A and B are shown apart, each in its own frame.
Chain A
Amino acid sequence: MKVSRGDVEHIMKLAYLDLKGEEKEKMIHHFSRILEYFAKLQELDTANVEPLSHVIEESTPLRDDEVGEGLSQEDVLGMAPDKEGGYIKVPRIV
């Protein structure tokens, strides 16, 4: 299966990646090769097979709603590249 340049550009947009030049060409090339490899799965008839998204198929376990220890605001903000007044700062959006 060949992937078109337009497809790859669309996926780049969805994935928030902006590849250019040689890197983009290489991506298009490898992308097609990998999709061709995936085509092997079409040999199998899976019409009556249930998908398995997770090996633990029980429902999500719930815990009691009790206050526990968490990270402090200081700890969390300490990781951010830019902050001000108890907030994470980003470029102007409006």
Chain B
Amino acid sequence: MELCDMPAWKLKEMISKGEIGPEDVLDSVFNRIDAVEGTLNSYITLLRDSSYAQAKEVKRRLKEGESLPLGGIPIAIKDIICTKGIETTCASKILKGFRPPYDATVVARVKRAGGIIVGKTNLDEFAMGSSTENSAFGPTRNPWNPETVPGGSSGGSAAAVAAGEAILALGSDTGGSVRQPAAFCGIVGLKPTYGLVSRYGLIAYASSLDQIGPMTKDVKDCALLLQVIAGKDDKDSTSIKLNLPNYLEACEVKDLKGIKIGLPRECVSESIDRSVARVIEEAKRVFEKLGAKVVEISLPHIEYALPTYYIIAPAEASSNLARYDGVQYGLRLKAGSLREMYLETRTNGFGEEVKRRIMIGTYVLSAGYYDAFYLKALKVRRLVKEDFDEAFKEVDYILTPTSPTPAFKIGEKIDDPILMYLSDVFTVPVNLAGICAISINGGFSDDGLPIGIQIIGRAFDEYGVLGVASAFEAETECHSRRPYRR
């Protein structure tokens, strides 16, 4: 197996034994990038030279005896997370040339931990989309089948990790943007509980829903990366102070005796793909074999979560994206007056889906419509959250498909926003409730496309969720398949 197809924890072991050096891992990753990037387009910016400089620095730190949790591991960062001095575009024309003067907290923590940032990955513009087709830098393709989408919005990060163009990646998840692409690309993606990971330096889409999460080859790597990025940050007043568990220990869980897993009857309806239903049925049997009790539950308001999300998220976005007016950063189009400059810059700088969400958000917040749409959605948001509160009185975890279908064809849903939104039907409720969930590979479709299963946990029970996912992974083989592995 080539180094670029190995998980970080394994590479770390090899580096610490002196079998390989960080530059060997980089060579392998950049060889793979040279071979497949022309097809996949996972990256917006590649940082080849600075990667090797970072590797040298990490080697020095390791030699000095520093303990580095990510020592020498190549990591890709979604291009909506600020990196000091490195262009951060949000896949939008409007931020062309924007070089942040500071690192996001997660980036600073990755660097401190010895991670090597190999590049900035492609995404749906401002994280608005489910396919990575809404990018000013062209779509990313799914490494399992380049005719299909990698999911979105963190599609570049997902494709890069699946294809061995990176060992680890960071994504952001507002309504499923880490989990759904992880599912489509056959990797692991975690949406942490709101408040676990600092959002400082994450360019805002919908602030009450956004969280940064790890995207990795297996569950152990997910725990490793979560440990690095989680924890209170004074620069994000919504980040929560708590004693972090050792997430890697969660991956030692061998059986699930005494654990109760709920399977919502609303999530196994006829509207999901046959292959997805089969994978859920098989997953249920695996969990039972591991000693868990799987019971049917109900989340009666889950069908209202999607329209609720598509009111709340655009409302917050319309406010957050008001700052892109050509004054302080990024694109500015010349115009005679200030107002014309705003109009020209915003109309030409934003892509179609972003403009749609700004318009919808402005509408639902506007006089005369606020109560009927925005306020109504906030009330339903509480009902969705209360569904989970009730369910977690009965069960410890909830199992659902991550998305109702495997990866779909490029272009298939791009002209029908509602159809595209439906891809997030099982992921958005988790963001509305602010709890945590992981997507892991549960199997494959008849066409050989990966299918994700989602395990949802209580707020701040990442430890438990990682344990359940880890036990599943130990019992199954599907997660170890890679698209380009020789």
Question: Interface of A with B (CB < 8 Å)?
Answer: 3, 7-8, 10-12, 14-19, 23, 26-27, 30-31, 33-35, 37-38, 40-44, 46, 49-56, 60-61, 63, 71, 75-76, 78-82, 88, 90-93
Q: CB of B258 within 8 A of chain A?
A: no
Q: Is the CB of A38 within 8 A of B328?
A: no
Q: Does B101 contact A (CB under 8 A)?
A: yes
Residues in A with CB closer than 8 Å to B474 are: none
Q: B212 at the A/B interface (Cβ < 8 Å)?
A: no
Q: A11-B362, A31-B359, A82-B332 are in contact. Are A49 and B382 (CB under 8 A)?
A: yes
CB of B147 to closest CB in A, whole Å: 26
Smallest Cβ-Cβ distance to B337: which chain A residue? A91
Q: In whole angstroms, how far apart are the Cα atoms of A76 and B304 in the complex?
A: 42
A-B contact pairs, 12 of them (CB 8 A): A3-B363, A16-B342, A17-B358, A46-B376, A49-B380, A52-B378, A53-B381, A55-B194, A80-B328, A81-B331, A90-B338, A93-B338
Which of B101, B208, B358, B383 is A71 in contact with, Cβ under 8 Å?
B101
Q: Does the CB pair A55–B375 fall under 8 Å? A: no
Question: 9 tightest A-B contacts by CB?
Answer: A55-B434, A51-B378, A75-B101, A52-B382, A46-B379, A81-B332, A79-B329, A49-B379, A15-B362
Q: Are B337 and A27 in contact (CB under 8 A)?
A: no
A19 to chain B, nearest CB (A): 7
Interface size class, chain B: 35 or more
A17 proximity list for chain B (CB < 8 A): 343, 346-347, 350, 355, 358-359
* A38-B373 in contact given A16-B343, A49-B382 (Cβ < 8 Å): yes
Is A55's CB under 8 angstroms from B385's CB?
A: yes
**Docked complex Cα distance between A61 and B381 (Å):** 23
Residues 379-411 of B, flagged 1 when their CB comes within 8 A of A and 0 if not, give 111110100000000000000000000000000
Tell me the minimal C-beta distance from A34 to chain B in angstroms: 6
Point out the residues of chain A lying under 8 angstroms from B329, CB to CB: 79-81
**A46, B304: Cβ atoms under 8 Å?**
no
Q: Are B194 and A27 in contact (CB under 8 A)?
A: no
Partner of A30, one of B101, B363, B378, B417: B417
